[in-house]
Amino acid sequence: MTQLSLVTQVSFKEAITSLELADLSESGKDNIVISTMNGDLRVFDFVSGKKPKLKEIARTSGLPPVAVLDVGDILGNGSPDFIVAGLDNQLRLLVFMDGKLQVKCSTPIGTLPTSLVVTNVMDDTSAEVIVATNDNALRCYGWFDVVLDKLAHKVVESPVFSMRPLSIASMPYSRFVFGDEAGYLYVYQYADDRLHEIDRVKVGGEVQLVATGSITGGRYDEIATVSDGRTLTLFGVEQQSLESILKIKTPDVATAVRMGRIIDDEAGGQVLLTLRDSTVLLLGFTGLELKEIASLKTAPKPGESLVAFGDIDGDSSMEIVQAVGNNLYVIEVENE
Quote the Cα angle for 73-26-48, to 5°. 125
Beta bridge partners of 247: 233
pLDDT for 173:
87
DSSP category for residue 111: S
Q: What is the DSSP string of 287-298?
A: SS-EEEEEEEE-
- Which residue positions in the chain have pLDDT lower than 50? none
pLDDT at residue 27 in the model: 84
Segment 241-257, tens digit of pLDDT: 899 999 999 999 999 99
pLDDT at position 290: 92
Distance CA 170, CA 222 (A): 16
Fold of the domain built from segment(s) 15-270: Methylamine Dehydrogenase; Chain H (2.130.10)
Share of the chain above pLDDT 90, in %: 82
Which of 231, 175, 183, 237 is closest to 205 using CA atoms?
A: 183
**Residue 134, Cβ density class (10 Å: 0-12 exposed, 13-18 middle, ≥19 buried):** middle
